[in-house]
Structure 1
Amino acid sequence: MELLISAGQLLTGPAGRGISDGAVLVRGPEIVAVGPRAEVAALAAPDARRMDLPGSTVLPGLIDCHVHLAFSAGPDPVGDLSATDDATLLEDMAHRARLLLDHGVTTVRDLGDRGFLAVRLRDEIGAGRRPGPRILSATVPLTPPEGHCWFLGGVVEGEEQIRARVRRNAEAGADVIKVMATGGGLTSGGAATWESQFTPEELRAVVDEAHRLGLPVAAHAHGTDGIAASVAAGVDTVEHCTWMTRDGFRALDDVVAEMAAKNVYVCPGASPNWRAFAARFGEDRARDVFGRLRWMAEQGVPLISGTDAGVPGAVFDNPVGSLEFYAYLGFPNDQILDMATGTAATALGLGDRTGRLAPGLRADLVVVDGDPLVDLAALRDPRLVVAEGRTHVPGPQPEC
């Protein structure tokens, strides 16, 4: 059956492009028409389901480019993970995926789980057996012995093991390869957050094997050296990209220029809890650290949105909190929305499937009251979410 949604405003994308008093016609999993209300309504079948929402805005479904569905977002997600068996963990992950869908997220990129569970969940959602967003899964992230997130099972040592792990992930259904180019704060006893974990040659082996198999590479990289080596190796996205060194922070102009020239996307992974950083370190230092993102964007580096949902404080039910981080930095709302829709879709290789409201694309959209171009808070309580043509009305979930 067809679904006709008429609204006071459609944000078709990009750059805030929209239609006043418009309508979207959905047939199955696909958008078949977008335009002025009367024109689109004339195309709908007599038995189409019709929703008339004159005070609402329809926009593309949000895309969260960095989540960890296997993590609890509690104070000790690693401990929670180790205490949870796979069957229970899959149910927990499904609960978190639905939370994201409740809040308007129709696509996520899961950048590290255990036991290929995100692939199982992806396929169940895709088959319509569970509600949730489209999932792109990295499966098990590559890390050295005792490296960042070693407990997920992706430990490798040397180029031969690196290539074998990439092939195994691909065979298990990975949509993207994740490599922990530097250390991270979630793992104790390993490399410091700023320290590199792989040599430049090893990173090139990751990229070479992944690209040979048609898979993109996402590099977790906080440290300046690790960022530079990842970009030189040809990764497709850099996650976090905080430019940390042993003694502070140092961004490299030539590497930023290379990122802009190669169209290497940066996903800062701004947690909804980002304000806690500012409170802990002080507004001046926070603005200095955060300001590097604005500077990179001004140099032409494309930014995409991601919440790092699952790590401490990065909850699954507040994607808008992460988007507000960019408003804090002075980005205009139309650009912020692009980072979470069209630009994100292009970065993930989905630009011909989602990220805009256009005929022929998948029916991924969210209906909200008010105007998010004026106030991002309008995104907080969606009235309706449509993911791959399946309608979802946000509401209470059973306890998992």
Structure 2
Amino acid sequence: MLKLIRAATVLTGRPGESIRNGEVLVDGTRIAGVGERGSLDVPPSALVLDLPGRTLMPGLVDAHVHLGFDDRVDPVTGQTAESDPRLLLRMAENARKLVSAGVTLARDLGGRNFLDVALRDSIAAGLTVGPNLLVATRPITPTGGHCWYMGGEADDLSGVRRVARENLRAGADVLKVMASGGQMTAVAPPAWRSQFDVTQLRAIVEEAELRGKGVAAHAHSPESISDVLEAGVTTIEHCTFLTPTGYAYDADLVARIASSGVYVCPTVHGQFEAIRSRVGSAPLDGWLSMLTRMRDAGVRLVAGDDCGFHLGDLDKAADDYVGGLEVFALAGFSAAEIIELATVTAAAACGVGDETGSLDAGKRADIIAVHGDPLFDLAALREIDLVLVAGRAVTQSGVDTVAGSSGGGPDSLRSDPGGGP
């Protein structure tokens, strides 16, 4: 059925383009037209939905989530109390939370036992509610490396090719590699250490490219950031320039990132202020400054909040996506910049910019309607009236959240505002 949606404002997703008294025509799963009110050729049989005082805009994109991150895994033994069936149910609930926050596309960057493939396909089939999902399946990591317990261990050139091929055969939309250590796997190298060399990283990129896929690289340390850049990955995740003594912004390396065109997802999440109140402002203000300096250097930043696990007692909840966007505002980004990096730019980083991320005729009808105008008040993104995922209304914001986004949480709080696990 044709649906004509009218609103006070239509944000197409293209920089600076705002249509006052606009309308969007939806034909099944696709956008059939966008324009000023009364400008589209609309058959009398179309269903008309009038939303005065609202803004229509592209659905939000979360480029880095972990719908099935199990915080209760013992990092030494790999044992957990959360069974696969229970974890899959938690993943489905997290997918619902994402949609309730206006997220219509999410990239799940690491899970166990290919549960993310099952969830992606179930959402596509209409068996459960959630955003369009792109999934990475098992992160590629050395034996005992960061998140080794997800099943993607590989130690040499043939090993990384084997795991990459197995993940792609199972249905991965993107490959994820742990180029550096992390901060939530006790037996793994620390986050400021590299886990693979350039040759191994390049092999993973080659396997992905053979199948038209991209590679997302978890990289904290300057060395690992440089290596993944040389290897030709699609996106750099976290990109904190972390050293044993703290963050060490590298202007020359940032210039290389900008000139390469690779996207950076700094995994900015909504627990920033809570962490700052506990650990102090100095290190976190420095991290905010790095975001601004990367933007000013021309780095293509995208939104992704690394939701799905705990920082101590703080839940990086799947329905707090907008909280991460508000941190960009603290770093001095304008509302227009934030909306762009959360929609059209993030969709491009995920490899689906031709399919979604903006309101254009022919693209998938991933659309949200919010109260007010987020160009003037970013908080408007918290007041969502309508969510369409491929033309299907799926908003469930009225359902109370009763469970955390992960199975548990570590005992101590890390002071990492956006670095992720």
Structure 1 residues without counterparts, runs of 5 or longer: none
Shift of 1:81: 8.8
Secondary structure at the aligned position of 2:241 is classed as strand
Q: Which 4+ residue blocks in structure 1 deviate beyond 4 angstroms?
A: 397-400
* Residue of structure 2 equivalent to 1:319: 321
C-alpha distance 77-292 of structure 1, shift in aligned 2 (>3 A)? farther
> Matches of residues 46-65 of structure 1 in structure 2 within 5 Å?
46-65=44-63
Residue 285 of structure 1 is aligned with which of 283, 286, 289? Answer: 283
C-alpha distance 398-283 of structure 1, shift in aligned 2 (>3 A)? closer
The number of residue pairs the alignment matches comes to 395
CA distance in 1, matches of 2:254, 2:276: 25
Q: Does 1:183 align with 2:169?
A: no
User: Could you list the per-position Cα deviations for residues 28-67 of structure 1 after superposition, in whole angstroms to 9, with x for gaps in the alignment?
Assistant: 0000011111123xx2332322211111000100000000
CA distance in 2, matches of 1:84, 1:278: 31
Structure 2 residues without counterparts, runs of 5 or longer: 404-421
Identity %: 46
Shift of 1:77: 4.9
Shift of 1:261: 1.2
The amino acid of 1:196's aligned partner reads S
Q: Does 1:357 align with 2:355?
A: no
Q: Does 1:396 align with 2:399?
A: yes
Equivalent residues of 1:144, 1:150 under 8 A apart: yes
* Residue of structure 2 equivalent to 1:66: 64
Secondary structure at the aligned position of 1:147 is classed as coil
Secondary structure at the aligned position of 2:325 is classed as helix
Secondary structure at the aligned position of 1:64 is classed as strand
Q: Does 1:335 align with 2:347?
A: no
CA distance in 2, matches of 1:359, 1:213: 28
CA distance in 2, matches of 1:107, 1:77: 27
Shift of 1:390: 0.3
Shift of 1:198: 1.1
The amino acid of 1:164's aligned partner reads R
Secondary structure at the aligned position of 2:288 is classed as helix
CA distance in 2, matches of 1:81, 1:265: 35
TM-score, normalization by structure 2: 0.91
CA distance in 2, matches of 1:49, 1:393: 19
TM-score, normalization by structure 1: 0.95
* Residue of structure 2 equivalent to 1:94: 92
Q: Does 1:20 align with 2:20?
A: yes
Secondary structure at the aligned position of 1:242 is classed as coil
The amino acid of 1:262's aligned partner reads S
CA distance in 2, matches of 1:393, 1:249: 39
C-alpha distance 151-55 of structure 1, shift in aligned 2 (>3 A)? same
* Residue of structure 1 equivalent to 2:419: none
> Matches of residues 79-158 of structure 1 in structure 2 within 5 Å?
82-158=80-156
* Residue of structure 1 equivalent to 2:412: none
Please report the RMSD computed on the Cα atoms of aligned residues, expressed in angstroms: 1.6
Shift of 1:320: 0.6
Equivalent residues of 2:98, 2:131 under 8 A apart: yes
Secondary structure at the aligned position of 2:34 is classed as strand
CA distance in 1, matches of 2:160, 2:110: 16
CA distance in 2, matches of 1:213, 1:81: 33
The amino acid of 1:9's aligned partner reads T
CA distance in 1, matches of 2:324, 2:401: 26
